Structure 1
Amino acid sequence: MKDTSSFSIKNWNQDDRPREKFLSKGRTALSDSELIAILIGSGSREESAVELSKRILAGANNNLNTLGKMDVKELMHYKGIGEAKAITIVAALELGRRRSGEEGLKQKKITSSQSVFELLQPIIGELPHEEFWIIYLNNSNKVLQTTQLSKGGITGTLVDVRLVFKNALQLGAVAVILGHNHPSGTLKPSNADKTLTQKLKIAGESLDIKVLDHLIVTENSYFSFADENLL
């Protein structure tokens, strides 16, 4: 009978134990797989938590952004990953995504379409479904609030124009920037995207609230209506 006791982390060399390594050498000393191993706590009878974590990462092309798109059911396909461990991994990566979004908000001032992309990409760039967001700005182009307006399926989302400007008036915003993601990865605006942009622009003009831009965001790039003279 095969001895599986060596696969337990507690039987490893002290330097190979991720929790002890975390405490003695600091979090930056750990690899991605070691950090994931700390989350899941244990592996299976055939492999250690670190080896299991390496296998999961390999299935995501060793890319944390790709891993972050995996859901609980996908993670549970790996032997040794039950529902609780899968939820733990998804929750940890979601916290990382939200932290990135908050870091973007610290920028506060919008200076270009690139700065809009840097703000919105951590929030919507990697989502498997479409979401529509509004950035509300004061007269110095500083961000007052970034708000999700709607969430839809992969084929599209519905936007309530009245709600956009109700929020703007309540915040005292003088300008807004529109943003939504294309889960397909395409940067080409649809006719619906163009129509909605013009609808919001016209509605804003009557309230002296400018629509400065509309960004289509994907994981790695963006399309700016303002840069392409479509506003």
Structure 2
Amino acid sequence: MTKKTTSFSIKNWSQDDQPREKLRDKGKSVLSDAELLAILIGSGNKDESAVSLSKRILSSANYNLNTLGKLNLKQLMAFKGIGEAKAISIIAALELARRRRGTVAIEKKKINSSASVFELMQPIVGELPHEEFWIIYLNNSNKIIQKQQLSKGGITGTLVDVRLVLKTALEVGAVALLLVHNHPSGSLKPSEADKKLTQKLKNAAQSLDIKVLDHLIITEKAYFSFADETLL
């Protein structure tokens, strides 16, 4: 006699337990993170449902979506029931969420504090494994005209082309600049190179009546502001 294998596909669950139908009938806000993740993966494995598998995946990330977003393809595929296609779906969905946060920050447009700079740039550089240096160009109302990555992989005076920064500032009509870079190490302490580079850009910009309003060092969860700490 052949033993019947129980299917854990979402379509075979009772209607009350189906997250797709729950989202359709009750709205997205009532679903747990595990239920939303279960919709993405569609099914679990022969031993557990998609929601149960999703809970296990979330547990491995301490139920933190930012931590989950850092898992790579190989790490996700280590879970039984998560093949390449499902792993790619999870990574793509979390990347969209990260970009959405950045878009919302950009829509605010006006920069009125160091916290607003952090909100804008943390989704872009806060979780990177390498350093990046960015310039934000502002008009006379402190509204963003443009933001631009200037260097990637490290921070030294030789990697930041001051002439390019000022050339772009003149081209877009900027009257103020914000400097931003990340510290993958998690340290918020500015290095001597950070301080020298800040002063170098500030002095060069002043000659064109362009102000450097702040320089932020950003980590995953926090930031250091040169302006707030009166280092400008």
Mark yes or no: TM-score above 0.5: yes
| Inter-partner Cα distance in structure 1 for 2:66 and 2:126 | 10
TM-score, normalised to structure 1, is 0.92
Using the TM superposition, give the Cα deviation of residue 10 of structure 1 relative to its aligned residue in structure 2, in angstroms: 2.0
Q: In the alignment, which residue of structure 1 is the partner of 2:231? A: 230
| Inter-partner Cα distance in structure 2 for 1:171 and 1:144 | 7
SS in structure 2 at match of 1:23: helix
In the TM superposition, what are the counterparts of 1:1-231 in structure 2 within 5 Å? 4-152=5-153, 158-231=159-232
RMSD: 1.8
Aligned amino acid, residue 37 of structure 1? A
| Inter-partner Cα distance in structure 1 for 2:53 and 2:138 | 46
Change (3 A) 1:122 1:160: same
| Inter-partner Cα distance in structure 2 for 1:156 and 1:15 | 54
| Inter-partner Cα distance in structure 1 for 2:9 and 2:75 | 25
SS in structure 1 at match of 2:123: helix
Assess if the C-alpha contact under 8 Å between 1:4 and 1:46 holds in 2: no
Change (3 A) 1:81 1:161: farther
| Inter-partner Cα distance in structure 2 for 1:114 and 1:198 | 22
Where does the alignment leave 5 or more consecutive residues of structure 1 unmatched? none
Assess if the C-alpha contact under 8 Å between 2:133 and 2:155 holds in 1: no
Query: What does the per-residue CA deviation read over 1:174-193, in whole Å, with 9 as the maximum and x for residues that have no partner?
Result: 11000111111110011221
Using the TM superposition, give the Cα deviation of residue 28 of structure 1 relative to its aligned residue in structure 2, in angstroms: 1.1
Identity among equivalent positions (%) equals 72
Using the TM superposition, give the Cα deviation of residue 3 of structure 1 relative to its aligned residue in structure 2, in angstroms: 5.1
Change (3 A) 1:201 1:43: same
Change (3 A) 1:178 1:30: same
Where does the alignment leave 5 or more consecutive residues of structure 2 unmatched? none
| Inter-partner Cα distance in structure 1 for 2:23 and 2:166 | 48
Using the TM superposition, give the Cα deviation of residue 6 of structure 1 relative to its aligned residue in structure 2, in angstroms: 4.4
| Inter-partner Cα distance in structure 1 for 2:175 and 2:20 | 50
| Inter-partner Cα distance in structure 2 for 1:68 and 1:86 | 11
Using the TM superposition, give the Cα deviation of residue 122 of structure 1 relative to its aligned residue in structure 2, in angstroms: 2.3
| Inter-partner Cα distance in structure 2 for 1:78 and 1:161 | 48
Aligned amino acid, residue 62 of structure 2? N
Using the TM superposition, give the Cα deviation of residue 51 of structure 1 relative to its aligned residue in structure 2, in angstroms: 1.2
SS in structure 2 at match of 1:147: strand
| Inter-partner Cα distance in structure 1 for 2:37 and 2:144 | 35
Query: What does the per-residue CA deviation read over 1:6-64, in whole Å, with 9 as the maximum and x for residues that have no partner?
Result: 42222211011111111111111211111111111222222221111111100000011
Query: What does the per-residue CA deviation read over 1:154-189, in whole Å, with 9 as the maximum and x for residues that have no partner?
Result: x65733323222221111001100011111111001
| Inter-partner Cα distance in structure 2 for 1:146 and 1:15 | 47
